[in-house]
Structure 1
């Protein structure tokens, strides 16, 4: 089994207050970071990455804020893969819904993230914190 060279991974991390203004802040920051790494507005993954970031940060704002005043967004750029991680300290690990909420309040976010990742040839996962007090939503997208 080959082990990835950690020196080839470029990490970008952003700590955000878990408030509505975090969503556009995350998008702006990620857009700038993508451009700095050669993934400009015309790159095929840019829109997918921005949508994934928007949906995952929105979920932390809508569902985790009372128990997680901050959320962390991390991008790991490797030679052939971009990994997006959004972490909060709310213990609930959500799953994709088959149907939206009956009251029209949403429910499609994780399904949309999953479908966008699949279309790009990537994967999604939810990782619970070892202490059970939070989780990280992980999306891996191929860069090649």
Structure 2
């Protein structure tokens, strides 16, 4: 009896300067990659992925830039799941806030990412690098079968 090969993961990876101009650059790259994989503008997951990418790259720009001049965005397309990864070399692993910052400067981005992931049937988490010097924001989203 033959054993089937495990499903292959297709990866898209983009190294970005941790600067504001990288947010629209990330969105453009992700939009093109999603379209190449059959997730065009009308696909129900496309807007979710684009918003997640925008929020996570924006967070890296706003909070990690002084310690992380580069940010890495990666999409892993599995058979049933799309994984979005945004990595930087700032050691703080953020937690989602229950209330925004009192000064009105924000604080909802990570909560929005968690909510979007949950609404799509997925999950979001922060994963510290083994050396403690950075982290990856990881969002798993199921692909329609």
Paired residues, number: 140
RMSD (Å), alpha carbons: 1.0
TM-score (norm 2): 0.95
Deviations 1:33-63 (A, max 9, x none): 0000000000000000000000000000000
Find the residue that maps to 2:35 and give its secondary structure: helix
Q: Distance in 2 between matches of 1:98 and 1:138?
A: 20
TM-score (norm 1): 0.96
Q: Distance in 2 between matches of 1:131 and 1:119?
A: 33
Partner in structure 2 of residue 22 of structure 1: 22
Partner in structure 1 of residue 134 of structure 2: 134
Find the residue that maps to 2:117 and give its secondary structure: helix
Q: Which has the larger radius of gyration?
A: 2
Gaps of 5+ in 2: none
Q: Any residues of structure 2 matched to 1:1-144 within 5 Å, and which?
A: 5=6, 8-144=8-144
Q: Distance in 2 between matches of 1:66 and 1:130?
A: 21
**Post-superposition, which runs of at least 4 consecutive aligned residues in structure 1 deviate over 2 A?**
none
Q: Distance in 2 between matches of 1:127 and 1:115?
A: 18
Gaps of 5+ in 1: none
